[in-house]
Amino acid sequence: MTKSLLACATTACAILTASVAPALAQSADQPTPAPASNAMTQPTMAGALAANPNPVSFDAGPLGKVYASGVISGFGQWQTHPNQGDRYGVGDLSNAQAIVQTTEGLLQFYVQAGVYSIPALGTPYIQASKAVDDYFGVAPVIYAKVAPTDSFSAQIGKLPTLIGAEYTFTFENMNIDRGLLWNQENAINKGVQVNYTAGPLVASAAVTDGFYSDVYNWVTGSLTYTVNPANSVTLVGGGNIDQTTRSNLATPLFQNNSAIYNLIYTYSSDPWTVTPYLQYTDVPKNTDIGIVKGASTYGAAVLVKYAVPQIEGVSVPFRLEYIGSSGNTTDRAPNLLYGPGSHAWSVTLSPTYQKGILFGRAEASYVQAGETAAGAAFGRNGSENAQFRFALEGGFLF
């Protein structure tokens, strides 16, 4: 696996390096690109970082115009109370991914391949060399798309989830680390998705394998209503309609047999982007797979980005969240957090600077847990209820 990862990283870097010279030549004079100027809608990005609005492109005959872009970024982190097997400090490659896609015509495709890590609050850090194998492989997102009209399309392959308000990879999000609510959600799933747009309404529905289980028994849907250019509301719901026994890092047993619901509101008007959202998850009783008592989580979060008007390219993303779980240590309810019935809150601040294709950001975060079970919280023996992290990330978006 190590050789294949190195080969993939080398290939990704070669594709990316092919575009770095002209991009760097422009970066000194190029203002921070605005998402609206980028014709490509994937990968979805929350706005703290912006994709290169002028990626490399070439004519591929019957395939039409093909765009090549990507990201290379490094990551460093220091934390208090690391869990068993984790470390106080770490340096790593957070992304070395190449992205190749088409965006027009009846038949389209999207390929995102390379090396990545997925840091998340309240969980041990997994090095990129191991994360690729443990999570979604060297091509985490790859799908074909049929778009017979401007309002309807269908996709098949490895797809980003419809669930939640945060995305999978660091460069897509306001913050470096994913949040506590994200830890209950799936990230990448394999399956089929259809999308339909009617005026201010955008609807999507998908049949997938949920938490990357290879069992296609998850049904998910989302509906977004755009009130006006600054305001939108999204409803999301999905869950396992049967049961799945598979369990590993990418496919946690309890969450993969759950149902998840979101209510997401977004306000976006310079210099502010504000996204508060609610989340509820339910894991029903199922003695066939060892769940002798059902449990649930309930959470709320707000994601905020302030683009500093006086300093071009500087923004200050902020996240505040709370999550609680049901059950207790005596009723044999599943542990969905830091023990049955536990709860936690977090705060994250991620000042960011981007100049052209170059970016850098720092992050300070704090997690406080309560009603934890013995051995289920932070520290080498799981007895600490709080964790502070400081992280840095920098790199290139080609």
Structure tokens at 40: 């490509």
Q: For residue 300, what is the enclosing H or E element? A: strand 295-307
Tell me which fold the domain 2-397 belongs to.
Porin (2.40.160)
Q: How confident is the model at residue 28 (pLDDT cuts 50, 70, 90)?
A: very low
Q: How confident is the model at residue 10 (pLDDT cuts 50, 70, 90)?
A: very low
Residue 39 scores a pLDDT above 90: no
Residue 11 scores a pLDDT above 60: no
Chain-centroid distance of CA 277 in Å reads: 15
Q: What is the pLDDT of residues 217-257, one digit of tens each?
A: 999 999 999 999 999 999 999 999 999 999 999 999 999 99
Q: What is the pLDDT of residues 183-216, one digit of tens each?
A: 999 999 999 999 999 999 999 999 999 999 999 9
DSSP per position, 229-244: TTEEEEEEEEEESS--
Q: What is the pLDDT of residues 310-345, one digit of tens each?
A: 999 999 999 999 999 999 888 899 999 999 999 999
Helix (H, G, I), strand (E, B) or coil at 29: coil
pTM metric for this prediction = 0.89
pLDDT, position 337: 97
Amino acid at 196: Y
Residues 46, 70, 122, 321: what is their CA dihedral angle, to the nearest 10 degrees? 0
Distance between CA 78 and CA 96 in Å, rounded? 22
